[in-house]
Structure 1
């Protein structure tokens, strides 16, 4: 079983990967690509034209047939359950549905050493935690060479967690997959209860043991999706947080927090500028009526609002300069 995860720059990588898959590949290939829920996609058709194997969107209950390629449909996670796949609208992970980590975790639970996980081009770090879980349960990690990836963040994050992964250009992955899939399966370990529970949460939509806190101490952070408290599931240098179904990696949580801060600053700037405009109107109206004291208070309030707006504008400019540096 081969699981492939991709995000930004992933369409190009997946098309090149499809062209290199060998017709006698003795494995099922499952693919997760980050994509907007509402966006139509023709990726299965594009891959199918280039691939020696049949390619299509996965349907709930599809069997794991060697020599086939199944893609996660938009707005659905793709999981392995027994000898079949499950397509589910479970909670978003790292802000995505489909997400890569749930697929890799389910492969670790169900397949152990028979699982091969591959991370391609993408932003941030989805897939890194799942790939680590897969390797810990006897599976094999493959990562696109970050030097050739359009967006190397996901491959580099995967290598940070699994430095011993097989690293190759996408053009070589077809041969790599055939070689790895033909190897005898050796060893493996029983999946941990925590890993089994995480997979169950995605399958159930986050309703498993809703009253039970996730393992780990409170993180003192708030989930951006549901505003509930997050719990710390970090291990070593892998920082990870969960709120029942919602799960966040270090980079994904940081990114969505940054977006939230910028939106809040823009909202504050607009509100302060609107306040100054209204107070100027009040001052003019009061002046026309001869209410000098009311006009003066309104002008002072407008001045304070514009001063505060200037501070917010400077803060936004500093953040943009820091992002571009």
Structure 2
């Protein structure tokens, strides 16, 4: 009988120390295969495997595309690649970003659910926003186990809190207990007969993460059109509903949770406001420059240009106030 020995872990802000704690506490005879995604930039040096290897009794590696899945290994997603699972092997993909990131957590979780069903244990650790919530929900739908770091124990509690909100988790535990818990869970047999049906369109979403063009599946006919555009490519976003979750994906393949989409739109608004400030202040400089050159030739016109410059300065000041209010609102939201 197969074991529940496929472990997928997702984290973001605060993730290095969290992963060090989890990996360091794995038993030396750990027989599961663990796959880790932490949000990192595309220009990262990819040092996480070596950092974790220093504290782990289990081999930690950065896998290559097509590498076989072995027990007693920890596989770490490399920079700028989604880490995905197929039966018996690893797939590295430069598919569309999800929730602003590549690697992202949800694609790993979904691919694990599709490839291994109830043999999967999904783990969500410290991080901001809610990447991993949709993927953990999918793991539960196929009969897998959901483990979440206790938000009160997390350096950044948003990801664990959202996972608990959207998914019926099996274990909510402090960080120091997760490693031993995973060692225990991966020794358990799992019954494959009579497992739950795969969520609708799961296979399509995994294929999109593997770089199969979303337009080939005509996703516009699969999901409801929304009123929003993709922050990355300006394509129309389609709305997906799963349980209590609402997500968005464009026909190019970029995907967002509601929280991540809101954050992306808010950032776009701020960028637009700063662009407006720049253009207004350039106008102020030009008006003053013109007034200076006209002063000796036509004092009345020079005065008029200076008056326009003063009005533009007032406009710039008001837009700056809006930016400051928005930034303050964001800071207050982060502390809640």
SS of alignment partner, residue 108 of structure 2: helix
The farther-off stretch of 263-272 and 199-208 is 199-208
Partner residue in 2 for 1:163: 168
Of 181, 201, 205, which aligns to 1:198? 205
Do structure 1's residue 66 and structure 2's residue 74 form an aligned pair? no
Aligned-partner Cα distance in 2 for 1:164–1:73 = 28
Task: Provide the rounded CA distance (Å) in 2 between the counterparts of 1:96 and 1:309.
Answer: 34
1:190 Cα deviation from its structure 2 partner: 3.5
The 5-angstrom pairing of residues 271-286 of structure 1 reads 271-286=279-294
2:260 alignment partner in structure 1? 252
Greater mean alpha carbon deviation, residues 13-22 or residues 166-175 = 166-175
- Tell me which of 224, 238, 242 is aligned to 2:245: 238
Q: Which residue of 1 aligns with 2:11?
A: 6
Aligned counterpart, 2:60: 55
Deviation at 1:207, TM superposition (A): 4.8
Query: Is contact 1:143–1:159 with CA below 8 Å preserved after alignment?
Result: yes
Deviations 1:222-242 (A, max 9, x none): 111111110111335312100
What CA distance in whole angstroms lies between the structure 2 residues aligned with 1:190 and 1:83?
21
Could you tell me how far apart the structure 2 residues matched to 1:104 and 1:211 are? 23
Report the equivalent of 1:261: 269
SS, match of residue 45 in structure 1: helix
Structure 2 residues not aligned, in runs of 5+: 1-5
Distance 1:283 1:210 in 2: 60
Shift of 1:206: 3.3
- Listed as ranges, the matches of 1:178-197 within 5 Å are 178-186=183-191, 187-197=194-204
Deviation at 1:142, TM superposition (A): 0.4
CA distance in 2, matches of 1:205, 1:235: 22
Per-residue CA deviation, residues 29-74 of structure 1 (Å, 9 max, x unaligned), is 0000111111213211121121111001011111111110100111
**Does structure 2 retain, via aligned residues, the 8 Å contact 1:6–1:119?**
yes
The answer (yes or no) to whether the contact 1:89–1:205 under 8 Å persists in 2 is: no
Cα drift, residue 99 of structure 1: 0.1
SS at match of 1:209: helix
TM-score by length of 1: 0.95
SS of 2:291 mapped into structure 1: helix
CA contact (8 A) 2:141 2:197 kept: no
Write out the 4+ residue segments of structure 1 that deviate beyond 3 Å after TM superposition.
205-208
Q: CA RMSD in A?
A: 1.6
* Distance of 1:283 and 1:236 partners within structure 2: 63
The answer for unaligned runs of 5 or more in structure 1 is none
Shift of 1:185: 1.0
Aligned length: 324
Matches within 5 A, 1:145-156: 145-156=150-161
Is the 8 Å Cα contact of residues 113 and 142 (structure 2) preserved in structure 1? yes
Task: Describe the shift of the 1:116–1:214 C-alpha distance in structure 2 as closer, same or farther (beyond 3 A).
Answer: farther
Q: How much does 1:153 deviate?
A: 0.7
Q: 1:85 aligns with which of 86, 90, 108?
A: 90
